[in-house]
Amino acid sequence: MDTIDRRLLAILRTDGRASISKLAELLKISRGTVQNRIDRLTAEGIIVGFTVRIAAEDPHAVRAVMLIEITGQKTVSAIKMLRGIPEIRALHTTNGAWDLIAEIQTENLAEFDRVLRHIRAMDGVSKSETSLLLTTI
């Protein structure tokens, strides 16, 4: 990746719906070059998809960070299962005692409890620790 690729990714993080023409204008390169770079970054797995970010979050939502330990060689299958849970807003690999960190958001405590029980019952999940997020400062 070069400077233009990094700038392109930064713009797409801010506005994933930016048109090829707009991206070309901002980067001062041709539309064809922008399209080729997006295609290459996608083929290389650097861009893995496009999503929607919602501006206003529900102030009553239950948010948490869950630290997850995976048993043995189950990491790949566990990640695949966890990525299929819509309440998991982000999933991170990490170092240290924990293998994964999941950012969870639900509408209420009953849903939160359901998600926690589901994750803890998954094949390969050996241990977890969850912390509720109270106030973002």
pLDDT tens column, 19-67: 999 999 999 999 999 999 999 999 999 998 887 766 556 778 999 999 9
In the sheet with 125-133, reading across from the earlier edge strand, the strands are 88-93, 100-106, 62-70, 125-133
Average pLDDT over residues 90-109: 94
Task: Determine the Cα–Cα distance for residues 116 and 131; give it in Å rounded to an integer.
Answer: 11
Residues 6-28 pLDDT 10s: 999 989 988 888 999 999 999 99
Contact assessment for residue 112 and residue 66, using Cβ atoms and an 8 Å cutoff: no
- Structure tokens of 118? 């589901």
Average pLDDT value for residue range 91-120 = 95
Per-residue pLDDT, 72: 84
Q: What local confidence, expressed as pLDDT, does residue 13 receive?
A: 85
Percent of all residues in the chain with a pLDDT value above 70, rounded to a whole number: 96
Q: Angle at Cα 133 formed by Cα 77 and Cα 50, nearest 5°?
A: 50
Say yes or no to pLDDT of 3 above 80: yes
